[in-house]
Structures are given as structure tokens and as C-alpha cells.
A and B are shown apart, each in its own frame.
Chain A
Amino acid sequence: MSESRRIWQDTILPWTTCVAMLAAIFMVFVLVPSERDQGVVQRIFYFHVNLAWMAFGGFAVVAAMSVWFLRTGNRRADRLAHANAEVGMLFTTLVLVTGPIWARPIWGVWWTWDPRLTMTIVLWSIYAAYLMLRRLGGEDDTIVRYAAVLGIVGALNIPLLVLAVRLWRGIHPAVMLSNDPDAGLKDPLMGWTLLASGIALALLFTWLVSLRARLLAVDESVAALHLEGVRT
């Protein structure tokens, strides 16, 4: 790995993530006013929404990297797809944890079969299956290609899934993408807080992905060395 990449990965990225995360936590818990009706529990929204965006962005990257890998056979693309699926999975899990914490006091239930909730849990299981395939398949070259196919098919599924669950009635609040004039963030500080936690989580996501991708690369070279040792 080049020296500049190492500095970026080991110094710049972790420290900026750390600073951004502390700033975001400060803004979420101290600076920003509570929402009028929902009270303090609404503050979880700043993390919940951004986690979901990062996770879904990660899954889009999985599909893009899978296409790239199938076209060129570049192992780096494959590792990035793998790493993004893993971290995306982690973030989706956190979305599924933070959601019910908010839903219990506000909706009165931990879980309901609303479109977005349904979509999130199905996505979670699609990528769980993807990671399961990678784990059970091992380092075999064929499996790597199969995983790429699955990464693309999984992403193809998303628009249909969105359509299917949208035809059900939804109760999930659409804060950011709504035409309702009552919706949206009323206090400008709320917007800034959302942005700050978005930046912090985006940095965290990138950092985790780069760490995982590096580890996967090391894994591959260890496996290659092992194979060489067996041969000689």
C-alpha cells in the first residue's frame, strides 16, 4: 500500500471520524432543541435516518462494485463489494435497533408492517444471505463470482420491493422527502444536526469499509502464501 493511502487510512480517517462523531453527539444530545410533540426520544432520528441512508448507499456500492468485478475481474472491486455489504449490514442492523426504540413510545408498538420497515428487514435478509454465501463458499473463485451475481440481483430486487411495499398503506413519517407543508425540520439547528451526524456516520462508514477491505486483502494474500507453502 502506498504511503499516502496508509496515512489517509490510519491517521486522517480515524481522527476526523472521531472528531466528527464527538461533534455530532454533542449537537444531538445537547445543542439541538427537542421536538415539540415527541420529546426527547425524537433525537434518535438524527442517527436513525443517516444510518439508513448510509446502509442503502452501501448496498448500491455493492451492486456497482459487483458489476465492475464481473467486467474486469478486479479483486479490489470484489473486496470493496464484500466490505460494503458487511458494513451496510451492520448499519441496517442499527437502523432496525434504533427504529423500535423510537417506535415504542411514539407508535405504541415495537414493530409494525409498514412499507419502510418491511423493506428494511427484507433488505437485511437479502444481504445476510449474500454474506452467508461468501462465508459458506470460502475463498473459491467461483463463489466470488456468484456473490457478485447475487449482489446485482439483490439490487435489482430493491425497486420491486419498494413498489410492492408502497402499495400497502404506510405510517412511517416522511420527514425529509414529503410534500406536506407541516412536515420537515422546523428549527434550522435540526437541519445542521442532521448534517453533522450524517458526516460523522459517513466517515465512520468509510473508515470501517477501508479497514475491512484491507483485512480481506491480507486474508487473500495469507491464503495465497499458504497455497504456495503447500505446493513446495
Chain B
Amino acid sequence: MWTIVRKDLSIELRTGEMASSMFLLALLLVLLFAFTLEPERLIAPEFLAGLSWATLLVAGTLALNRSFVLEREAGGLTGLALAPIDRGSIFLGKAIGNFLLLLVAGVVLFPLIAILLGTRGLAPGWLLPATMVLGVAGIASIGTLCAAIASRTRAREVLLPILMFPLLAPLLIAATRTTAAALVGENPSEVQSWLLMLLGFDIVFTTAGWLSFDFILEE
């Protein structure tokens, strides 16, 4: 499992393809928001939270798509499926790789969006990092599963977001609420139920992906 993580990350570190294209797309999206939303006015934290997650999601779609397309093209997935390891571990390996990539993207993006679109300054605390980790974990688990499914079809680039976005709806609602709360410096106990929900979402769908990968990789 860790070998898969290491392999995916080293491909990324060597080429930097994904990181650069994700970053560029995200930046362009932020510019788009800036042009269309009149950034002279201070954007409310709720909007900022929503914009940040939407940007991360759209940019993340690129990385997720890539993670299986590369494998399919090179026949890597067949190799992985033949390897004498549990199929669930392949899922976990892939998901952790995507998780780390998306997390780095989030850590870069969120402050960037906050700076460019303006906020009253970040409230210190663990709430924002916690939200980011939990939210990105959910996106990575659902995203990895959907990317594996979509990569098999003709229209994979189109299908991945179509499959992924509705399934992520509860996660996005919860992540946006907690992020907004973190931005205005609310007490974390106010959003406790949302945090629990993020955690529950991660557990349910990581388990689902882990269990169902047996059926996904069976060629």
C-alpha cells in the first residue's frame, strides 16, 4: 500500500505535471471569481468558504482523473491487480496519494483565495486545519472510487465530475459551514455536529471504497 503511495508521489514530484496544472486552473478560477464577483466589496466568509471548496474540488478533479488515466494507459492497473496484495490496499494506496496531493493543493489554495478575494484575517485555531484534513479525505476517497469507475468509460473526463459532485454534496455542505465558522473565529463547539459529520462521511466512504475495490479491479 505504501509502495503505491510512494510511486504515485514520486511520479508527481519528478514531473510536477499535476501540481502545476492544478495550480494554474485554480488560479484562473480565482481570477474568474474576482472578475465576476466585484472583489472590491469584502466577500463574506460564507462565500469565501464556498468558493475555496468549489475551487479545490474543480482543480482536484484534474488530479483524480489523472491518477487512473495514467495507470490505464501504461497498463499499470492490470499489474497492480495481479500483484499479490489485497485489492482494498490498492484503493487505500491510491486514495492516500490523492489525499496528500489534494491536501497540499488546499494548503496553497485557501490562503491564496483568502488573500486575493479578501477576508478580515484568519482566526487562529485548529478548526480550519481539521476541516481541511477531514474534507480533503472525503474528496479523496469518493474521488478515487469515482475516478476508477470513470476511467473505464469513453467519456471519463466528463463522467468523473458528474459521478463525484452529487455524492460529495453532504461533505461540501458540512465543510463549507465549518470553514466559514473557522474564518470568523467561532467557537469549534458550535460546529461540532458538522465536524462529526465530516468524520462520519470519511469513515463510511473510505470503508465503502476499500470493500468495493474488489469488484472494480476484477477485469
Contacts and interface: CB of A to CB of B under 8 A. Distances in A.
A164 B153 contact: no
A227 interface: no
Interface stretch (A77-85, A100-108, A128-136): A128-136
B31 interface: no
Interface stretch (A2-10, A17-25, A52-60, A155-163): A155-163
Residues of A contacting B: mostly: helix
Contacts of B218: 142, 145
Interface in B157-182: 159, 162-163, 165-167, 169-170, 173-174
12 contacts: A129-B159, A129-B162, A129-B163, A133-B149, A133-B159, A137-B154, A145-B218, A157-B167, A160-B201, A161-B169, A164-B173, A167-B197
Contacts of B215: 70, 145-146, 148-149
A49 B174 CA distance: 28
Contact of B197 (A143, A153, A164): A164
Contacts of B159: 129, 132-133, 136
The size class of the interface chain A forms with chain B is 20 to 34
Given A146-B149, A153-B208, A160-B200, 7 more contacts: A126-B167, A133-B150, A136-B155, A142-B152, A157-B170, A160-B201, A167-B194
Nearest to A161: B170
A133 B163 contact: yes
A137 B163 CA distance: 13
Interface of A: 70, 122, 125-126, 128-129, 132-133, 136-137, 140, 142-143, 145-146, 148-150, 152-154, 156-157, 160-161, 163-165, 167-168
Contacts, number: 85
Contacts of A157: 167, 169-170
A129 B193 contact: no
Given A70-B215, A136-B153, A153-B145, A163 B166 contact: no
Which 5 residue pairs spanning A and B have beta carbons closest together? Answer: A164-B170, A125-B166, A160-B170, A126-B166, A146-B149
A91 to B, nearest CB: 18
Nearest to A70: B215
Contact of A165 (B142, B149, B173, B200): B173
B152 A146 contact: yes
Contacts of B142: 153
B216 interface: yes
Contacts of B193: 167
A128 B163 CA distance: 9
A149 B197 contact: no
A143 B165 contact: no
A129 B166 contact: yes
Most chain B beta carbons < 10 A, residue from A137, A140, A143: A137
B14 to A, nearest CB: 31
B219 interface: yes
B152 A137 contact: yes
